[in-house]
Structures are given as structure tokens and as C-alpha cells.
Structure 1
Amino acid sequence: MSNTLSKYLNILTIVMLGLTAVFVAMFYFGGEIPNQAYPTPVYSDLLINWAKILCFATAGLSILFPIIQLVTNPKGAVKGLMGLVLLGLVVLVSYSMSDATLLDLPGYTGTDNNPASLQFADTVLYTMYILGVGTVLAIVATEIIRRLR
């Protein structure tokens, strides 16, 4: 990666981290909406929308960079494609483990207690669990291998 591109990406990272810190501070210290049944921070929507933007940007870049790698370095792109295939398998396994059984929530009249939403939430949670455990195992394995060399 060129020094100029690396410099711009570092600046972009710092700006995004700063924006995130500002939004989190606004969320926690910005006060609450009056006359609500539960404490509701004023800037909840802002923080949620920022998290959505970061999530979509990350997903888009995760798809875009392997495609760029495929075009610029077809032989080396196999590793990137294997990563996407492995991630797809993790999501598929998580989806097969998820449950769409409706929850018994006394007094709840919202529309989110439906099979599709519940299965999506389970899939996301199981994917996070699998990737989190995989990350911890990879860190432990790397340290063990480093000690043995």
C-alpha cells in the first residue's frame, strides 16, 4: 500500500473513531427525553444510525476488497475468497442452529416477535459467538506456536 493511501486511511480511521467517541458521549451525557415510560437518551437514534452506517460500510468493504484483490492479483485472491467462503459457512451453520419459536412475552404487543426476526437475531448471535470463540482460539494458538519456535 502506498504511503499516501496509508496516511489517508489512518486519518480516516482517526476521524471515524473521534466521531464515534463524540456520538457515544452525546448518548450518555445528552440527557433524556421527558415523559417516557423508560429512561430514553435523547441521542439514541443518532448512535444507532451511526452504528448502522459503520456496519454497512464494513460489510461493503469486506466484499469490495476481495473483488479488487481478485482483479489485481488472481493467484493470491484464492485466500481472500476462502475467507469469504468460510464466513459464509459460519453464517450458514449459525442459521441452521437458530430457532424461530415465538417468545412468550406477557404484555408485549409489538411486531418484532415474529419468526423471521427471531431467526435473524439468533443467526447474528450464533455468528458472533462462533467468530468470538474462533478469535480467542486463534490468539491462543498463535501465542503457543510463537513460544514453541
Structure 2
Amino acid sequence: MAVTKIHRTSRFTLYIGVLITLVVMGLYYLGGQVPAHEQLVADMSQPKFTDLVLYWAYILLAITVVVLIGFAIAGFAKGLKERPKKALGGLLVLVALAALLVITYVIGDGTILNIPGYEGKDNVPPTLKMTDMWLYSAYVMFAITLVTMIILPLVGGRKK
């Protein structure tokens, strides 16, 4: 019974998310351009609803991070109760992720960018280093995923 409710809830959530995404992307692609007198750079394409797409991406990212952290804490608490040694291994993964974020922030480049038409407050070294941190971390995790997908079946052995 509970599984059916979980499936129904997750399916409903997925449909709502996809519907909102389709509306936002439809507005972005079909909503037209910013009027000429409001454009930041005269000779560049500037869709009207670019801000809406960015805000929707921020919302999705925030929801993903909150849910991920929530499940990680719940899984750690449950694992600590059932198998403490294995739970501490999971904690080690979180420590490794934190170390990855710190290392990639340190190696990030904080050089101010020359962006035509941009007068905002985000073109500063800490924000640029954080952007590099997320990009480098994504590259490292993608590489680890690919290597794991290739190597693990070779060393894992075959199940009968």
C-alpha cells in the first residue's frame, strides 16, 4: 500500500516538474525578444524570459540539494543504527566530497572577466572561483563515474 502511494506521489511530482519545465522553455523559445531599447547589447539575441529559465534552474538545483542532503542524513542515521561500520564508510564519502569541493575551489581562477554589457555584482573573484569549483567538481565526478562504469564490471566478476 505504501509503495503505491510513493509511486503515485513521485509520478505526480515528475509530471508537475515536467509541465512547469515545458511552460518555462516554451516561454523562453517562443516568448520573443527583449525590445531594442531595453537590450543590454544591441547586436545580441536576448530572449525575454531568460531570467525565468535561470530562476527555474536555481529552484530545481535547490530542491535537488535539499532532497539529497535529507536522504543522506536519513540514510546515515538509519545505517548508524543498523550497521555502524558501514555507515562510517558513507560518512567518509561525504568527507571526500567536501575535500573535493575545497580543493576545486582553491584551484579555481578568480580573474575578473570582460563581459560586454554586464554591470552586475557577480563578476568578482569569490563568485568566479565558486563557479570553477562546481565545474571542476562536476568534471571529476563525471570522470569517476565513467571509470567506474568501465572498470567495475571487469573486476567485479560475474554473478551466476
Q: TM-score scaled by structure 1?
A: 0.81
TM-superposed CA distance for 1:114, in Å, is 2.0
TM-superposed CA distance for 1:29, in Å, is 1.7
For the pair 1:85 / 2:95, whether they are aligned, the reply is: yes
Q: CA deviation digits over 1:23-63, x for unaligned, max 9? A: 12221122111112232111111111111111111111111
2: CA distance, partners of 1:119 / 1:106: 16
**2:127 corresponds to which residue?**
117
Q: CA deviation digits over 1:58-79, x for unaligned, max 9? A: 1111111121223333225435
Unaligned runs of 5+ in 1: none
1: CA distance, partners of 2:117 / 2:26: 31
Q: CA deviation digits over 1:106-144, x for unaligned, max 9? A: 866734332112211211211121112122222222454
Q: TM-score scaled by structure 2?
A: 0.76
Unaligned runs of 5+ in 2: none
Q: Name which of structure 1's ranges 9-18 and 53-62 shifts more when overlaid on structure 2.
A: 9-18
Q: Which has the higher contact order (CA 8 A, sep 6+)?
A: 2
Q: Name which of structure 1's ranges 46-55 and 77-86 shifts more when overlaid on structure 2.
A: 77-86
Counterpart residue identity of residue 126, structure 2: A
Counterpart residue identity of residue 137, structure 1: V
Residues 129-140 of structure 1 mapped to structure 2, 5 A cutoff: 129-140=139-150
Q: Give me the CA root mean square deviation.
A: 2.5
Counting matched residue pairs gives 147
Contact 2:106 2:129 in 1 (8 A): no
For the pair 1:53 / 2:59, whether they are aligned, the reply is: yes
- Runs of 4+ in structure 1 over 4 Å off: 106-109
**1:141 corresponds to which residue?**
151
Contact 2:108 2:133 in 1 (8 A): yes
Percent of counterpart pairs with the same letter? 27
Contact 1:27 1:41 in 2 (8 A): yes
When Rg is computed on C-alpha atoms for both structures, the one with the higher figure is 2
Residues 32-111 of structure 1 mapped to structure 2, 5 A cutoff: 32-35=33-36, 36=39, 37=42, 38-74=44-80, 75=83, 77-103=87-113, 105=114, 110=119, 111=121
CA pair 78-9 structure 1, distance change in 2 beyond 3 A: farther
